[in-house]
Amino acid sequence: MANPLLPLNATVALPKPRLGDLLAALRARDYTVHGPTVRDGVLRYGPVISPDDLPRGYVVRQQPGRYRLEYTGHGDYFAVTPGPDTWKRDLFPPRQALFHLRRNGEGWEVVAAAEKPPRLALLGVRPCELAAIHVQDRVFLRQDFSDPHYRAVRERLFLVAVNCLHPAETCFCAAWGTGPEATGGYDLLLTELDDVFLATVGSEAGREVLQPLGWEPAGASLLDLARQRLEAARAGMTRRLPVAPDRLPDLLLSRLEHPHWEAVALRCLSCANCTQVCPTCFCWGVEDAIALNGDEVTRFRVWDSCFSPQLSYLAGGGNARPTVKARYRQWLTHKFASWQRQFGVPGCVGCGRCITWCPAGIDVIAELAALTADREEDALQGGGR
Amino acid sequence: MCAEIPPEITSALRRIPWFQRLQPRHFAALAAIATLRRAEGGEVLFREGDPQDFLYVLLEGRVALEMHVPGRERVRLMTAEPMDVVGWSSVVPRVRWRTASAVAVLPSLLVALDAPAMLRLCEEDHDLGYIVMRRLANVVAQRLMVTRLQLLDIYAHPGTEGCDDG
Amino acid sequence: MTHLTVGMPWASSHPETLLAPWWAEVLAVHPETPGVATLTLRLEDDAMRAGYRFRPGQFNMLSLPGFGEAAISISSDPAAPETLRHTVRAAGSLTRALTRLQPGARVGLRGPFGVPWPVEALRGEDIIIVTGGVGLAPLRPVIAYLRRHREDYGRVTLLYGARTPADLLYAGEYQAWKHDGIEVLLTVDRAAEGWRGPVGVVPVLFYRLRPHPDRTVVFSCGPEIMMHFVVYEAMARRIPFERIYLSLERNMKCGEGLCGHCQVGPYFVCRDGPVFRYDALAPFFHVEGL
């Protein structure tokens, strides 16, 4: 008995044992599926062949400067929260060959780095990560210019989002409205309940993949359960932005000499972890790699970080941001203030990775509170959070 | 006022912007202690260690301020252009003698004001004294700005081994 | 954000990737001052060369395989874009290699980029150009333009200085500039044998002028601290912020606002600058380490 044709935004129930069928369906359409896997004691994004590759039974405990992945044996595949990896690794690789320069008589010729762009299906994209992909879309795909490498991967991308029911202590997507529930921008959305996944169709491509799988209509009780769990997840996140998001640019850009910058600079190690794990950070540099015979050079684009002193190096010596304070301020004001003016959206999605992976345990929410406080006393209180 | 002020003194002083703003009695008092001095290119107006006899205002030409540094050639610190004051230290009571030399680089015309007389006038008439000292404060401030920027060596290229490029 | 229209939209030689350069032949390498040389370049692609237009103050990204790219201001006359002059100071491995090229060598070129000096829009004004060291290079196209349209402008004055007399850039051209009605006031930080000109710093040259604040515009480029003092001197003469333009310099990797390197506050120096009107820059210009 064939199921009726699924409309857009329809939600159905997919029994958990059918997860493998979803993976097979994606592979049959030539997608390489990437998803969360457990490797080296942390969650890493990598190839997922079968549901056994997923972190079923794991939970994550995250705090400022602390990350622990624990196996408790429960039955959920996606009870974890993101680890140090982000999906930008697939869309904006850390090291990307742009082109080769080959000697040609007196001069050189440009030879495109012939790479077939990967056709990826990302499985388990959290709402905050979905938001981050959309933020990076604004950075890499603009009206006047779009990054051809990013676009090639992005156009072929299939997104299976997953609603977040177990936010970590460091999460604050609710403060931005970017989670714990995904509201659009995916091909399929899964909400994990005990025996089934609720699957929501987000696009034509998503409908096409889901249609032939063994789903059942989702009863009202299942939908209510999902709603309740999402509400609980939302309520469980207590971090709040100290001011409304649209006030951050004016406030931060007018407090560039606030004494609190000195205080946070004493703790910051300028290690660049936050920029590595941040799903929206996009600074990049260029490296030329010369072949041994000297006749071919490959020009690479590589990840860079505003915490790297070289980034702000000035020609002829000197550095525009010679202190840790200057670099920390650059990162925070770019992420929370300048970004809005440059791209029309905030640069942060509330995933909390920067808080977890900072070896000094610096909490951006606390820092923002200290910097945007109305009075000195508030600033001192905020800094001690 | 007893003696007649020579007309060339009056017209010379009238060329100087801050003199144009003086009250007539102050203008007259300073005019009475002013003389004109011409200097050829290369002529030394005063040397370091000389007594502080005159405060100069340069009307035409260019005067260089130099110092003799034992073991090195004479160092030219900066130049004075028309309407600049040369020898401000002559009117600052604590400084006893010239701190630098002044050499005309181009043929120059200067107004020379008798420094000890000027100090006396400032003591006797504090209104004039305030105007003169305020002018000198501006002069010294400007010299300080120049000296600081020269000290900072803003065009220097500290090392050409850049980490990235440019 | 001041997005002024630029000379021509930058067109990539290989749109399927980033940063792919066009190629230009080095016609000449002219040593200017110690450590500084001017490269004269000619784009090889006929169509690109014929269509290339730039406006004063814009820059190109020049590259050598193996050395990467650097942003170099275009210092030639915008009315003659068939050849492009770039004055390069040897400050790192790439720029040092550029100054050592021989005629016939090939250089990668991408551009033009950046917001230019708005000189065309300022007809009738008095223009004061204040610059130091190699900062004169991005202003040379402005001087070229003003010489061609001299009657359209009021008083035009160049205040220029360098470390020593030997570091004064384009010294052989001052006479021609003066001949075309541009007042040239020079100074050096340190005198040298035979120098009979002023000794002192560039901002002090302002004391020789009596600008009318409501019809004077200031264009400045040079060491940032010099520009701080230029702004002070302009303010002391009541020239409003909207009449002061500065050109900034920051480490650039892409030149097109993509790589995040060249930010000053919310601005990308390569896209929102390098020429900024001072009222837009004022909240950020004096913040240490921004």
pLDDT tens-place string over residues A173-205: 999 999 999 999 999 999 999 999 999 999 999
d(CA A248, CA A128): 19
A108 touches chain B (CB under 8 A): no
Question: At A3, is the pLDDT very low, low, confident or very high (cuts 50, 70, 90)?
Answer: low
A316 touches chain B (CB under 8 A): yes
Say yes or no: A181 and A227 in one domain: yes
C49 touches chain A (CB under 8 A): no
B127 touches chain C (CB under 8 A): no
Tell me the whole-structure pTM to 2 decimals: 0.93
Q: Which residues of B touch C96 (CB under 8 A)?
A: 160
Question: At B164, is the pLDDT very low, low, confident or very high (cuts 50, 70, 90)?
Answer: very low
The structure tokens listed for A348 are: 């942060």
For chain B, the chains sharing at least 3 beta-carbon pairs closer than 8 angstroms are: A, C
Say yes or no: A31 and A72 in one domain: yes
Say yes or no: A232 and A249 in one domain: no
* Residue-number span of the structural domain to which B124 is assigned: 35-150
C32 touches chain B (CB under 8 A): no
User: Is B106 a domain residue?
Assistant: yes
Which pLDDT score is estimated for B163? 37
Say yes or no: A214 and A271 in one domain: no
Residue-averaged pLDDT of chain A: 93
Interchain pair B145, C203: CB under 8 A? yes
| Alpha-carbon distances of B37 from A270, B12, B45, B83, C100, rounded to whole Å | 63, 11, 10, 14, 53
Comparing CB atoms, the residue among A108, A149, A342 nearest residue C17 is: A149
B90 vs C102: which has the higher pLDDT: C102
Q: Which residues of B touch A285 (CB under 8 A)?
A: 164
Burial class, C226, CB count within 10 angstroms (exposed 0-12 / middle 13-18 / buried 19+) = buried
d(CA C103, CA C30): 10
Domain C22-113 fold: Elongation Factor Tu (Ef-tu); domain 3 (2.40.30)
Say yes or no: A253 and A171 in one domain: no
Cα dihedral sign for C268, C269, C270, C275? positive
Say yes or no: A66 and A136 in one domain: yes
What's the CATH code of the domain at B97?
2.60.120.10
B24 touches chain A (CB under 8 A): no
B157 touches chain A (CB under 8 A): yes
Q: Which residues, in sequence order, are CB contacts of B101 under 8 Å at separation 6+?
A: B44, B45, B46, B47, B48, B65, B66, B67, B68, B74
Q: Which residue has the tokens 């604004």?
A: A138
User: Is B84 a domain residue?
Assistant: yes
Domain C119-247 fold: Rossmann fold (3.40.50)
Are B9 and B31 in contact by the 8 Å Cβ rule? The answer is yes
The bridge status of strand A11-15 relative to strand A32-39 is: unpaired
User: Is A96 a domain residue?
Assistant: no
User: Is A142 a domain residue?
Assistant: yes
| Alpha-carbon distances of C186 from A153, B107, C130, C182, C183, rounded to whole Å | 56, 19, 10, 12, 10
Q: Would the pLDDT of B63 be above 50?
A: yes
User: Is A217 a domain residue?
Assistant: yes
A374 vs C29: which has the higher pLDDT: C29
Comparing CB atoms, the residue among C91, C162, C200 nearest residue B157 is: C91
Q: Would the pLDDT of A383 be above 90?
A: no
User: Is B30 a domain residue?
Assistant: no
Are A200 and A10 in contact by the 8 Å Cβ rule? The answer is yes
User: Is A375 a domain residue?
Assistant: yes
B65 has which bridge partners? Answer: B78, B102
Residue-averaged pLDDT of chain C: 94
Average confidence (pLDDT) over A256-261: 96
User: Is B107 a domain residue?
Assistant: yes
Structural domains of chain A, count? 2
**Amino acid of residue C276:** F
d(CA A113, CA C288): 41
Each residue's pLDDT tens digit, A129-165: 999 999 999 999 988 788 999 999 999 999 999 999 9
Which residue of chain A comes nearest to B160, CA vs CA? A316
Q: Would the pLDDT of B54 be above 50?
A: yes
Q: Which residues of B touch C220 (CB under 8 A)?
A: none
C10 vs A313: which has the higher pLDDT: A313
Which pLDDT score is estimated for B51? 85
User: Which of 169-198 (C) contact A at CB < 8 A?
Assistant: none
Q: Which residues of A touch B154 (CB under 8 A)?
A: none
Closest CA to C177 of C146, C198, C203, C200: C146
For chain C, the chains sharing at least 3 beta-carbon pairs closer than 8 angstroms are: A, B
Interchain pair B158, A318: CB under 8 A? yes
Say yes or no: A127 and A174 in one domain: yes
* Residue-number span of the structural domain to which A322 is assigned: 245-282+306-383
d(CA A81, CA A67): 11
CA-derived radius of gyration, chain A: 23
Structural domains of chain B, count? 1
B152 touches chain A (CB under 8 A): no
**C42 three-state secondary structure:** strand
Comparing CB atoms, the residue among C65, C105, C256 nearest residue A297 is: C65
The C-alpha of C101 sits at a distance from chain A's nearest C-alpha, in angstroms, of 13
Are C57 and C115 in contact by the 8 Å Cβ rule? The answer is yes
Say yes or no: A310 and A343 in one domain: yes
Q: Would the pLDDT of C77 be above 90?
A: yes
Q: Would the pLDDT of C82 be above 60?
A: yes
| Alpha-carbon distances of B54 from A1, B110, B144, rounded to whole Å | 114, 11, 21
Which residue of chain A comes nearest to C265, CA vs CA? A338
Which pLDDT score is estimated for A2? 56
Each residue's pLDDT tens digit, A63-82: 999 999 999 999 999 999 98
A287 touches chain C (CB under 8 A): yes
Each residue's pLDDT tens digit, C230-267: 999 999 999 999 999 999 999 999 998 999 999 999 99
Instruction: Identify the helix (H) or strand (E) that includes residue B110.
Output: strand B101-114
C149 touches chain B (CB under 8 A): no
B162 touches chain A (CB under 8 A): yes
Which residue of chain C comes nearest to B152, CA vs CA? C225
C202 phi, psi to nearest 5 deg: -60, -45
* Angle CA A73–A79–A85, to nearest 5: 115
Helix axes A364-372, A260-267, angle to 10 degrees: 160
Interchain pair C162, B155: CB under 8 A? yes
Which pLDDT score is estimated for B117? 95
Least confident of A73-82, A368-377, C35-44, C279-288: A368-377
Question: At C56, is the pLDDT very low, low, confident or very high (cuts 50, 70, 90)?
Answer: very high
Say yes or no: A229 and A256 in one domain: no
Are C186 and C198 in contact by the 8 Å Cβ rule? The answer is yes
Interchain pair C251, A301: CB under 8 A? no
d(CA C60, CA C71): 6
Say yes or no: A69 and A171 in one domain: yes
Comparing CB atoms, the residue among A310, A316, A318 nearest residue B164 is: A310
User: Is B73 a domain residue?
Assistant: yes
Say yes or no: A271 and A322 in one domain: yes
The domain limits of chain C are 22-113, 119-247
Say yes or no: A232 and A270 in one domain: no
Each residue's pLDDT tens digit, B112-128: 999 999 999 999 999 99
A313 touches chain B (CB under 8 A): yes
User: Is B51 a domain residue?
Assistant: yes
User: Is B19 a domain residue?
Assistant: no
Which pLDDT score is estimated for A189? 98
Average confidence (pLDDT) over C166-185: 98
* ipTM surpassing 0.95: no
Average confidence (pLDDT) over A102-110: 89
